[in-house]
Chain A
């Protein structure tokens, strides 16, 4: 049986580990040079920083994953630096691009561990140089040992906000402010559920306490106003506090993000149906508890199958591999699967509490000013999307997301709506006075990411 695993983050590593243990040698494809996923992305050779300083509390887990990854590489068909840009579920074929060369990989079963990316809510000035996603700010630190600026403001919500701010401050960067759009009370209410998270929750509390002890400016329940500056960079962030007072923090860089969303384009192209998860406020591909999808041969694991975090990703990766083996007629140890399923169920309860603690602030997207740049690829402002929803244009109203894309080009550019899609959906839904599930989601179209027009076929 030929198994392909896409992604070498926590989910991919544990999936491949389980497949190799069963005597298989999967094709293992990753976009990065050395695997690890975004969370445990590895520095380039020669960067002399130890795991402890790169990964903090997660150093042990990161090192364990990297060790497993390195041990598995020679036992698989390991293909780093390779983008899977399309999938043909009928032909059971993955389309890959590596070093400018096209290739196709056939599979009997494919486990897609495609990870996640930050959810962004555009605000005035968000495209200035010096503004990055929270994830990108973290990757700069982890893989290059550099900060995104000298004086950095972190803006958004979610566990990553506090973690990245902590990591930056600890690495010696000047963290000028941590601006959480979630009010303190929302987080406090979720505390009973968060206790399920045990050590993870404790670490979160530690980061917050540590940042406070260092005297770093922290505000909760904020409304971001603008990122000020010019074409050459950022000079300040302005925001409104819960009492309605306006504030300004000078800075030269901003890391921002409002939780994560699955990078599920491959699952979409594989024709896996999606459902809207109200708690995560994300469209997630449909799968069972073991990662099986309604599409023959397609299995999902990790954050790409729905946000769960790195620890859950390791478990879902192993679980999906077990499902592949089970479906191929391998005998499994029932104790292993039962134990794994039980741990996954417990983690799901913690994750639900985390989502309640840091809900996606749809109201910020819905309140976006008409002249705010919404879709940066196509230069579309929020007001232009709103106009398309109403019957103002000669084309009539756009009643759903893909029609709005057709009329306005929202989500039609280089990123295919990966960046602006979540906010655009909220704006359209608000204008049409309906819910995000009602207006649907942007259809996936190949390539998953841009590919060069002149890519050669592999010999």
Chain B
């Protein structure tokens, strides 16, 4: 027997769950199919940065839209997923890096993103715990961080309440399109059909696109994450660096979450692990930024699987081969902040046939 609906969503990450919620709110009958539990991969295991500063300029309109949703997440889904507006401080460790920060101020201005430079003197006065390596920073007051373990489940829970059918442990094993309808078959032998299919399957979105004749050069990306034991709270802003080889933030409970570099993964299982030497490298870079972290204990490290495109921005928009198919995948490590907005934008594309957000840079046939 085949279950039919208006829109089928493949992938239960932040983007998919947000799309399910926004589509259901627009009265669409939605079925979301997720292989494991929602938010099990990139959306659930990432660093938790809710950052707009430093985004690729093409992504900024989406980031702005998403930030607006982050701001009212509590109303939308009943929890703010621990979203805290701490500001994001991006640090320069050389003159060349400082020049990059300055150059980005213009980009931010074009997109109405609040951003200000913190100069050589101010940086050590305002943040006395920063190490001597730091020469300057740029501060985005609207940015912050949230708990990635909560976002997708909360969006999914709200989507269910709005009428969406969220099916976990439903791995799609076959795709078909008969010219009018998509039919997806799961590992358990169930069939689902709809005139619209939204591919938000992260790294595995590449395989979905390939099934419809539009393969893209996507590769797995596994962020290398670690967390320390709790310490007295002193690092308020979410910290990044030019070049991105280390990032860290402290939560009010005291733990410092830090990342940098990439772990190892086998997307076919799926399986991922942080790499010991990468964890220690990131830890060393972190102690250079914040010397007070020396001697603190790392209690846990982890990774997950995201999809990375060659130009480091996602594929977003309608299929070029199959009417009714829409893509939003390959977020290249940027999906957590963008996810809620992507769901709203895809709902507009599907229901209204258009969106104000410029999506041309993300078209699938750009490669």
Interface residue ranges, A against B (CB under 8 Å):
85-86, 88, 90, 95, 102, 104, 269, 271, 391, 393-396, 399-400, 403, 406-407, 412-414, 416, 445-447, 450-455, 457
Contact B287 A454 (CB under 8 A): yes
Q: Is B361 part of the contact surface with A, judged by Cβ < 8 Å?
A: no
User: Residues of B contacting A453 with CB < 8 Å?
Assistant: 228, 283, 286-287, 293-298
From the candidates A446, A454, A455, name the one contacting B273 in the complex (CB within 8 A): A446
Interface residue ranges, B against A (CB under 8 Å):
37, 44, 77-79, 149-150, 153-154, 156-158, 160, 228-229, 264, 271, 273-277, 279-280, 283-284, 286-287, 293-302
Min CB–CB distance A16 → chain B (angstroms) = 25
User: Residues of A contacting B156 with CB < 8 Å?
Assistant: 396
Q: Who on chain B is nearest to A403 by CB?
A: B37
Contact A394 B158 (CB under 8 A): yes
Min CB–CB distance A405 → chain B (angstroms) = 8
Contact B280 A102 (CB under 8 A): yes
From the candidates B149, B157, B300, name the one contacting A445 in the complex (CB within 8 A): B300
Given contacts A451-B297, A454-B293, 6 further A-B contacts (CB under 8 A): A88-B264, A88-B276, A396-B156, A446-B273, A453-B294, A455-B280
A445-B302, A450-B229, A450-B298 known; A394+B154 contact, CB < 8 A? yes
A406-B149, A446-B276, A454-B283 known; A395+B79 contact, CB < 8 A? yes
User: Residues of A contacting B78 with CB < 8 Å?
Assistant: 394
Q: Who on chain B is nearest to A447 by CB?
A: B298
CA distance A86 to B298 in the complex (A): 13
Contact A104 B300 (CB under 8 A): no
List the 7 closest pairs (A to B, CB-CB), nearest first.
A394-B78, A394-B79, A396-B157, A450-B297, A406-B149, A395-B153, A453-B283
Min CB–CB distance B193 → chain A (angstroms) = 26
Q: Which of B44, B275, B299 has the most CB of A within 10 A?
A: B299
Q: Who on chain A is nearest to B169 by CB?
A: A399
Q: Which of B44, B156, B271, B301 has the most CB of A within 10 A?
A: B301
Chain A to chain B contacts (Cβ below 8 Å), 13 pairs: A394-B78, A395-B154, A396-B157, A396-B160, A406-B153, A445-B300, A447-B299, A452-B295, A452-B298, A453-B286, A453-B294, A454-B293, A455-B280
Contact A454 B295 (CB under 8 A): yes
Min CB–CB distance B259 → chain A (angstroms) = 13
CA distance A393 to B153 in the complex (A): 10
CA distance A86 to B301 in the complex (A): 10
Min CB–CB distance B273 → chain A (angstroms) = 7
From the candidates B160, B229, B301, name the one contacting A414 in the complex (CB within 8 A): B229
Min CB–CB distance B162 → chain A (angstroms) = 13
Q: Who on chain A is nearest to B275 by CB?
A: A88
Q: Who on chain A is nearest to B301 by CB?
A: A446
User: Residues of A contacting B301 with CB < 8 Å?
Assistant: 445-447
CA distance A451 to B283 in the complex (A): 11
Min CB–CB distance B156 → chain A (angstroms) = 7
Contact B79 A393 (CB under 8 A): yes
User: Residues of B contacting A406 with CB < 8 Å?
Assistant: 44, 149-150, 153
Q: Who on chain B is nearest to A416 by CB?
A: B300
Contact B77 A394 (CB under 8 A): yes
CA distance A86 to B277 in the complex (A): 11
Contact A95 B276 (CB under 8 A): yes
CA distance A407 to B156 in the complex (A): 14
CA distance A454 to B274 in the complex (A): 17
Q: Who on chain B is nearest to A93 by CB?
A: B276
CA distance A98 to B283 in the complex (A): 18
Q: Which of A95, A451, A455 has the most CB of B within 10 A?
A: A451
Min CB–CB distance A223 → chain B (angstroms) = 34
CA distance A139 to B277 in the complex (A): 34
User: Residues of A contacting B276 with CB < 8 Å?
Assistant: 85-86, 88, 95, 102, 104, 446
CA distance A454 to B78 in the complex (A): 40
Q: Who on chain B is nearest to A455 by CB?
A: B280
Min CB–CB distance A255 → chain B (angstroms) = 26
Min CB–CB distance A384 → chain B (angstroms) = 14
CA distance A138 to B299 in the complex (A): 27
User: Residues of B contacting A271 with CB < 8 Å?
Assistant: 271
Contact A407 B298 (CB under 8 A): no
Q: Who on chain B is nearest to A85 by CB?
A: B276
Contact B157 A394 (CB under 8 A): yes
CA distance A412 to B230 in the complex (A): 11
Contact B158 A454 (CB under 8 A): no
User: Residues of B contacting A400 with CB < 8 Å?
Assistant: 37
User: Residues of A contacting B283 with CB < 8 Å?
Assistant: 453-455
CA distance A450 to B301 in the complex (A): 10
CA distance A90 to B269 in the complex (A): 14
Min CB–CB distance A206 → chain B (angstroms) = 43
